[in-house]
Structures are given as structure tokens and as C-alpha cells.
Structure 1
């Protein structure tokens, strides 16, 4: 024996077919829907006539049977002729109400020939209860029509005895149950359908909103599935895609896009492009590429993130491409300008400092002139430091690698203190150094010296006469730690979060008229991070600040 199992997929296909048929039925005009709904009853009555023809032919001549068949055909004719689309929607329900008349006539006309004809009333009952119009009224009308169908013939012949009426109540009771069940299912289905339609409308609204947002933002968005096939591309991404195509390209294949790494003229192979790398699991965040060639080339910053499907599996990747051409051009122009201007400033400043030192060696100068020369030298050195900071900022991110050597961070701290000692003595500030042990690190001497010089210079610059500055160097686990602690102005809490940002200066420093570019601490933090370390600060207004430099020790 063959057993056929009904799987979930089979059920889904059946439901899809039913929903498709229901949608097709609802798209028909009112007249066709009425005729199609009425035809099953007429076809069934025709089948009853054929059965009677072969079982009890004389019964076909009974007035009730003939009248019932005639009324059924008349109702079908009305379904064809009445312009239902011009009438109210509820008027269609008059047809199943009238169907109880031919059913009562046929049932009474061939009583004793065929049994169970009363169950044919299930057609108008299901039509009424399944319409969804006034469910309680529909159930009541269905029940009343069923009762009249079985009781009217009895009333016509005077068989109104209670036992006769009760004997015929089984069929109306069954039809009542059918009507209630059909009404409940219809109301539930209509509620679910409305909910589905609401969710579908919300989904379409969200989809249109998302499409509008993605087409509005000035960022290219590309979505690919887990196989690398394009799923979505917004307007900006299409614009960038076209910008990367050569004139002779067809535009049908991503491999035709001219994509280069920043600073390279070698076309990137497919396996090294962002989409392939992202699918392979490589992290991509704000990587710079050149799209296209010639004067129309664009610089794009690419980031990629993975997204998961409803089952939690990998669904694909989302790539965001920002056109940063103007930004890159502006930054490079700024760096070029700063570098050129810094070099132009350094030449006359070097001459000024050189001649100032020569003049200080002149024994014929009086104390007043010598003091003026010291002021001139101090301000010139301060100006040169500012120029050095600007020059260092202008070459940030250059491809030139610094030379890393083995250095003693404690010794560098003592040298920084020795260089700052004249300025500390001149301002009446006590400068103390505690750095006895060796602290071997692997680093760039110029960068580390710049950090320490900047920290001690700031400590002196923001401190008053009579205060002290403490410089310490010690081991902390596998790190070398240098601390510069002052008793100066201190930093307000709202300024602590941005003091390592370029060109940012505290309000207190600006109000006090203390000169500076706002670059020193930002550059110091960058150098610390390049050495695998970090620069920290703790400060309290009116009490002072403690800057802590941590650099990994080397063996």
C-alpha cells in the first residue's frame, strides 16, 4: 500500500493556490461573482433531477419538484441579468435568502424518493455566513431560512403537531452549527486579513521610506548576498559605479570598474577588492581607494559590515562608500601649504636664534641689552616650537617610516628636564626629577623627545611663580611610565575630553592669554599611540594636572 505524506511544503503550496484563487475571484466583477456563487446549487439540483429520473421518474412530474427547479433557474437568470455593481454590496445576499424557496419546494416535492435533501441548504447558509456582513444577522437569517425550509411544507398540509415539528429540527440544527462555524472562521479570517494588509502596508511604507533615505544620503550603499551577487544599490552608489567605468565598458560587470589603492596606479585584482575581501572575512573600515582614472577619478572611503538573515545565518555584506575626493584634495592642499610655510618660517627663525646667541657672547653688552636678547631668544624658541608642531602635523600619515632604536626613557626625561631648567629658574618654578632606573623602550627618539618637551613645557607654561613641577619615571609591569605633575591652572571637566584634539585649547588658557596652537598634546597622543602606548591626564581646576605617558618596555 502506498502512503502519501503531506509535508509543510505541500500545505504551503495548497494555501498559496487557495489564496491565489481567492484573489482572482475577488478581482472579478460583481455579476460574475454572484453567478459563480450560485452555480453550485443549480448544478446540484440538476444532479438531483438526473438521479430522480433514473430512480422514480413519475416523481419528476410532481408540482413541488417542478416548481422548485423552475424557481432555481429563475434565480440563476436574475443573477445573470441584475446589474449588481450598481446596487449596494449587501444586496447580493438576497440571492442565498431566496435559495431557501426552491430548496423547500424540491424537498417537499420528492419527499420519500431521496433523503437528506435538506442538507442542500448548506450552500445558501455558507454563502450568508461566509459573507462577513453582519455575522450575527447572517447566522439568524440562515437559521430562520433552514427552519422555514423544513416547517413550511408541514404548515401547508396542517401537520403542525409538536412531534412533527421536532422531528424536522435536526437539519436546521446542523445548518446552525455550520453557519456559526462558517461565521467564526470568516470573521477570524477577515481580521487576520486586515492585520496582514496593515502589516503589508506598514512594510511597504518602511521600504519606501528606507529607499528614499538611502537615495537621499550622500553615501553610496551596496548590499551583496553571501555569494557576492548585488542585491541593492542606491542612487549614489550607481553614480560612483558609473564614475569608475572606462568609456569603452559595457557596465554589466563589476570587474570592469577601475579601482586602485590610494597612491597606486596598479589596478586591483578582483580578490583584493572590498566586496571580495569583506566576503572573505577581512575587516574593512574607512579604507581609501581611487575610483576611475584621470581628472574624473574619485576618492572613496569604503567600510563593510556583515548582516544576518532571519535564521541568524550570514546573509551577505553591506558596503558604504563615501565620496571624499574634495576632502582628500583639501587635506593634501592644507598639508602642502603648512609644510611649505613651516619651512619658510624656520629659515629666518634659525637665523634670528643664531645671531641672538652670537650677540649674547659679546662682552660689551650691558645687563639691559642682555636681558632683551634673552627675551628675544625665548620668544624665538617658542615660535620655532610652534612651527615644529605645525610641521609635524602637516606630515601626519606620510609614508615615511621613522627609525626605531633602543632608548632609555628615563634618560630622555632627565634630558628634557635639563633643557627646561633655565626656563623654570627664570620663572621661579621648582623643577624636580625622579628617574633613577633605566627604562628601555624601542621608539623614535625625535617623537619621544617631542612628547616629553611638550609636557614639561606645558607644565611650566600653565604654572605660577612659586609652584613646583614633579617629573617621574618608573616601571609599571611591562610598561615604562613617565608622569609630569604641576600645580598650575588645571583643566575643567568639560575640556578634558577634547584636549587631545587638534587645534583645541581650553577656555582658561585663552582667557589667560597663554600662547599656543592647540597641536602639542594632539601630536603627543599620536606619537604615543604609534609606539603602542597612550597618554593620559587627570586634572582639577585650581589644583593642577598630571599627565601620564605609558610606553611598552623592551627586553
Structure 2
């Protein structure tokens, strides 16, 4: 682009000077070639001295265009060549017996040259017209013998169309040159403005801390910023391999397994795949970085993909902070779980022989200790992503047991738990983890439902998937609360003002377990009317070798 700008921002004079001899040669060569062709077709006038001088002058002018270093001169000395072309045409006309109009057509070449000149355009126009008039009226002015001079005015008017035609030609050429100059100036201005905006865009891109890569529809790089080039440098191997080659230091997140080439963001962009927050690890230890990559597509007016913008954010510190927080919660939860287990064990022993006066208090201790143990277990589950152990499971029985065990929490509020489950539903899953999902969702439905209401658990097979829905008649959620429902430790402001217990971990844990099984979870809710939480699981799923229990 810089070379184009440098060329287009030259003035016409600078451009002519930069081209030098080549420009002069291109202006003179057609005229000389036409003169030589005329001499070959009509060799008879070559015996006349004036005709010989005209041909020789055309040849000398062409040689001068080649030999003279016109680019070294700051003055438009090359304009002398088209003026001398008029002299050559006059000599040819004096030595030949051609019609004035026919031979006068040779003046087209110097007229066009002078009319398109960037220096002294008005004087060049006048010179071209005067030169043409001289050629047209030369036989009359010099009183050639082959011209009838009985009526000189008649002879002069007879050859007048030639100067008029050349005048029209010169005006047309000048107008075209002026229009081209105006468009050239406009183009140079637009290119300069584009260059300015491009430099501003590059400065902005290099300022942000996010790696930005623009690719075309085939996934080839168009533009990248400094941060993206740094990430690409990290991905290079010691041997300096390009990040577009199979050798690379790009790994699946959380592992040392190289990221397959077809999963690279640029390749996924070429396929038009939607990508949002794809995590991967780049570089060699100890300087590895964790990147979160998203892709947004550039589409034409017809809706086709013209390219994509790939944004990669360095989330290493965030991942490290989350790991540190999870480790802290896991350690604290583990330390709390041990004494709670001791408290529950001793409480059960005391309850066996406790007198009636003490039993009520011991049962209160046991209930609260169990509740606290459940909270600690939720903390552990949210802190660590436990590997699942899928086995063939009868989900219908699993739902029945979960609903039955939730009865002791529903009965005090007069809530009825009704199940509408397709018989003998089976799928490959981790029964303990799916039971945990059911327990969390049914527990939430009971907690947020009013007294004497109904909670319905429905499950059925739909298109090789298990679809389970838990419907309640509780307080419901608004749009903002639904947007935050799967965020860990989130509890809406209105719930925090109530006596409803919880830590905001049930839904996030359920979501993580369902997604580990290759399913998805969502809900529909209307304030003051109730909520429907549904999750979908594939009925048949490959069991990863690393997920099987030893």
C-alpha cells in the first residue's frame, strides 16, 4: 500500500520525471513508426530532399527520446519534441504530393502529446492549434505550384476542417486529462485517508491486550495485532516452525495433548463453526498461557461468509485464581467434613440411649449436622470436577427413589411430589451423579414452592434422548435472575431476605454434571407462577476409558 501511495501521490510532473526516457519514448515512437510506414508504402517522395529531411527529423527525435536523460531536467524540455514533430510533418508535406488533410492527420500525435501535458497546458493547446494551422495552410502560404491560387480564401477555407478537428481533439484530450487528474487527486486523498485510518486501527489493535486475528473465507491470515503475534510466537516450536504447520505448541486445555489441527480456531473459522470461549493452552512450560478464543464472522450483503475475526484473551491469571479458590474450598470443606462425620456418628450413638427429654435436642443437632454436611459436600463438588463412571442405568427407578427420599422435606409443607415417568427408561450414565442432579433439582423445587402445592417430575424418551422436567408452582424468576441462575454462589436479593436455606450451588453443580454426560440443562420461569427445569441426556454414550472406576 505504501508503494501505491507513493506513486499516486506524485504530481503529474513528478510522475513524468520519474518515468523519464520511457515516457518520452512512448510519446514519440508512434509518430516515428507512422512516418516510416508512410515512407515504405509511398517510396516515391524519398527522392525529394524535404521529404528525406522530414523522415530523418522523425528518426532523430526518436533517438533523442532514447539517449537524452530527460529525468535529470527539472524543466519540460521534452515538450520540444512534439513541437519539432510539426516541423517534420511540414517537411514531409513539402516533399510529397499528398493531400493536405491526409498528411495532416500525422499532427494527431503531437496534438495529443501537447494537449495532455501537465506543464503549461494552455500554451501547449495554443501551440498545437497553431502547428496544425501551419501544416494546413503551408501550401497556400508558401504558394506551392500544385495549388490553384485563383482564390486563396477558398483554398484556405477548404483545409480549415483539419485545424478544427484537431482543436476538438485537443479540447477532448485536455478535458479527459483534467478529469483524470481530478479523479487522481480524489483517489490519492481517499488512499491517504485510508492509510491514516489503517494506521489508527493498527495502533488501537496493538494497544488492546486481546489477540486479534482477521482471516479470509479460507482461513488465511489478513491482519493481526501485536498480542496475537506474541501468541503465535509462543505456539512455535524450538525449530521455528510456523504456527500454520503441524508442529506446534498448542494443547487442549488442562492436558498435554496437542490440539488437533482441525480444531485450531483459524480452521474452525474457515468451516464457519460458531466458537465462543474455546479454552486451550499455548506455549511450553513454564511459560504456558491459557487462551479463551471466540470467533465472529464477517458476512456479505448476500449473507455469505467473507471472513472472520478471531479474538484470543489471555485468561491464565483468571484460571490460576479459580484453581486457587477451588483448592481452598476443597481443603476447607475436607477439614470441615471430618469433624462433622464425627459429630453425626456420636449423635447417632447418643440417640440410641437418650432419654425423651434429651432426644429432641439431639435430633435437632443431627438435622443441622446433616444439613451442614450437605453444604460441605456441595462445596467439594463445586470445587472439583469429579470424573464420571458411566454404566447402564434404569433411570425410572432412579427418579422414583429420589422423589421418595425427598418426601421428608416435602411433607412438613404439605407439598405433593408426583412422578410421570416412562417405564423402564435406561441410559448409560453415572447413577450417583445423576441422582445428585435429581436430588438438587427436586430439593430446589420444594424449597421455593408454597405450602400445599405440587411438584411434578416428568421423564420420557425423545429422539434417542432422555428428557426430564421438574415442574413447581413456586415464586418463579425474572429475566435477571434466570441469567444468573447457573452462577456459583448466586442467590437473588429477594431470596436472601427470606429464610430459605442454600448457598447457590445446586444448579451450577447440576449443570456441570449434565454437561459431563454430554447433555444440556435449562429452564423456563414466570414470576409468581412457577419454574420448569429440564435437562436432556443422550441415551447411548461411549464410556471414556479414563472415566471407568479402577
Q: What TM-score does the superposition give when structure 2 sets the normalisation length?
A: 0.68
Structure 1 residues 134 and 415: alpha-carbon distance in aligned structure 2, compared to 1, 3 A threshold: farther
Q: Which residue of 2 aligns with 1:348?
A: 339
- CA contact 1:93–1:128 (8 Å) conserved in 2: no
Using the TM superposition, give the Cα deviation of residue 272 of structure 1 relative to its aligned residue in structure 2, in angstroms: 9.7
Using the TM superposition, give the Cα deviation of residue 389 of structure 1 relative to its aligned residue in structure 2, in angstroms: 1.9
Using the TM superposition, give the Cα deviation of residue 181 of structure 1 relative to its aligned residue in structure 2, in angstroms: 5.1
Alignment of 1:407-426 (within 5 A): 407-426=393-412
Structure 1 residues 252 and 438: alpha-carbon distance in aligned structure 2, compared to 1, 3 A threshold: closer
Q: Which residue of 2 aligns with 1:501?
A: 487
Using the TM superposition, give the Cα deviation of residue 234 of structure 1 relative to its aligned residue in structure 2, in angstroms: 4.8
- CA contact 1:52–1:113 (8 Å) conserved in 2: no
Describe the superposition over 1:201-253 as per-residue Cα deviations: whole angstroms up to 9, x where unpaired: 4664565455445534434567899999998775335434555678xx56477
Q: Which residue of 2 aligns with 1:130?
A: 116
Alignment of 1:149-298 (within 5 A): 150-151=136-137, 154=140, 161-176=152-167, 178-180=169-171, 182-183=173-174, 185-187=176-178, 189-190=180-181, 193-194=184-185, 197=188, 200-201=191-192, 204-205=195-196, 208=199, 211-220=202-211, 234-240=225-231, 243=234, 251=240, 286=278, 288-289=280-281, 291-293=283-285, 295-298=286-289
Please give the alpha-carbon distance, in whole angstroms, between the structure 1 residues aligned to 2:35 and 2:154.
33
Using the TM superposition, give the Cα deviation of residue 456 of structure 1 relative to its aligned residue in structure 2, in angstroms: 1.6
- CA contact 1:245–1:292 (8 Å) conserved in 2: no
Which is further off, 369-378 or 437-446? Answer: 369-378
Q: Which residue of 1 aligns with 2:520?
A: 534
Using the TM superposition, give the Cα deviation of residue 192 of structure 1 relative to its aligned residue in structure 2, in angstroms: 5.7
Which is further off, 484-493 or 115-124? Answer: 115-124
SS at match of 1:296: coil
SS at match of 1:512: coil
Q: Which residue of 2 aligns with 1:469?
A: 455
- CA contact 2:89–2:106 (8 Å) conserved in 1: no
1:326 aligns with 2:317: yes
Match of 1:394 among 383, 386, 394: 383
Which is further off, 27-36 or 528-537? Answer: 27-36
SS at match of 2:475: coil
Using the TM superposition, give the Cα deviation of residue 420 of structure 1 relative to its aligned residue in structure 2, in angstroms: 2.1
1:491 aligns with 2:487: no
Unaligned runs of 5+ in 1: 1-18
Please give the alpha-carbon distance, in whole angstroms, between the structure 2 residues aligned to 1:190 and 1:331.
63
Structure 1 residues 526 and 138: alpha-carbon distance in aligned structure 2, compared to 1, 3 A threshold: farther
Structure 1 residues 529 and 166: alpha-carbon distance in aligned structure 2, compared to 1, 3 A threshold: same
- CA contact 2:206–2:225 (8 Å) conserved in 1: yes
- CA contact 1:103–1:120 (8 Å) conserved in 2: no
Using the TM superposition, give the Cα deviation of residue 176 of structure 1 relative to its aligned residue in structure 2, in angstroms: 3.7
Q: Which residue of 2 aligns with 1:28?
A: 17
Please give the alpha-carbon distance, in whole angstroms, between the structure 2 residues aligned to 1:271 and 1:126.
61
Structure 1 residues 193 and 448: alpha-carbon distance in aligned structure 2, compared to 1, 3 A threshold: same
Equivalent pairs counted in the alignment come to: 504
Unaligned runs of 5+ in 2: 1-7, 144-148, 542-550
Q: Which residue of 2 aligns with 1:380?
A: 369
Please give the alpha-carbon distance, in whole angstroms, between the structure 2 residues aligned to 1:260 and 1:40.
65
- CA contact 2:140–2:152 (8 Å) conserved in 1: no
Describe the superposition over 1:178-215 as per-residue Cα deviations: whole angstroms up to 9, x where unpaired: 43553465356446645654565466456545544553
1:450 aligns with 2:441: no
- CA contact 1:150–1:168 (8 Å) conserved in 2: yes
Structure 1 residues 288 and 454: alpha-carbon distance in aligned structure 2, compared to 1, 3 A threshold: same
Which is further off, 453-462 or 434-443? Answer: 434-443
Q: Which residue of 1 aligns with 2:146?
A: none
- CA contact 1:505–1:518 (8 Å) conserved in 2: yes
Using the TM superposition, give the Cα deviation of residue 165 of structure 1 relative to its aligned residue in structure 2, in angstroms: 2.4
Using the TM superposition, give the Cα deviation of residue 404 of structure 1 relative to its aligned residue in structure 2, in angstroms: 1.8
Using the TM superposition, give the Cα deviation of residue 350 of structure 1 relative to its aligned residue in structure 2, in angstroms: 2.3
SS at match of 1:410: helix
Using the TM superposition, give the Cα deviation of residue 159 of structure 1 relative to its aligned residue in structure 2, in angstroms: 7.7
Describe the superposition over 1:349-375 as per-residue Cα deviations: whole angstroms up to 9, x where unpaired: 223333444444455233xx6555444
SS at match of 2:405: helix
Please give the alpha-carbon distance, in whole angstroms, between the structure 2 residues aligned to 1:93 and 1:479.
85
Using the TM superposition, give the Cα deviation of residue 452 of structure 1 relative to its aligned residue in structure 2, in angstroms: 1.3
Using the TM superposition, give the Cα deviation of residue 491 of structure 1 relative to its aligned residue in structure 2, in angstroms: 0.9
Structure 1 residues 270 and 480: alpha-carbon distance in aligned structure 2, compared to 1, 3 A threshold: closer
- CA contact 2:79–2:114 (8 Å) conserved in 1: no
Alpha carbon RMSD of aligned pairs, Å? 5.7
SS at match of 2:406: helix
Structure 1 residues 236 and 258: alpha-carbon distance in aligned structure 2, compared to 1, 3 A threshold: same
Alignment of 1:14-93 (within 5 A): 26=15, 28=17, 55-57=47-49, 85=74
Using the TM superposition, give the Cα deviation of residue 126 of structure 1 relative to its aligned residue in structure 2, in angstroms: 0.9
Using the TM superposition, give the Cα deviation of residue 486 of structure 1 relative to its aligned residue in structure 2, in angstroms: 2.0
Match of 1:427 among 413, 435, 438: 413
Q: What TM-score does the superposition give when structure 1 sets the normalisation length?
A: 0.68
Please give the alpha-carbon distance, in whole angstroms, between the structure 2 residues aligned to 1:314 and 1:492.
37
Structure 1 residues 444 and 151: alpha-carbon distance in aligned structure 2, compared to 1, 3 A threshold: same
Please give the alpha-carbon distance, in whole angstroms, between the structure 2 residues aligned to 1:269 and 1:554.
26
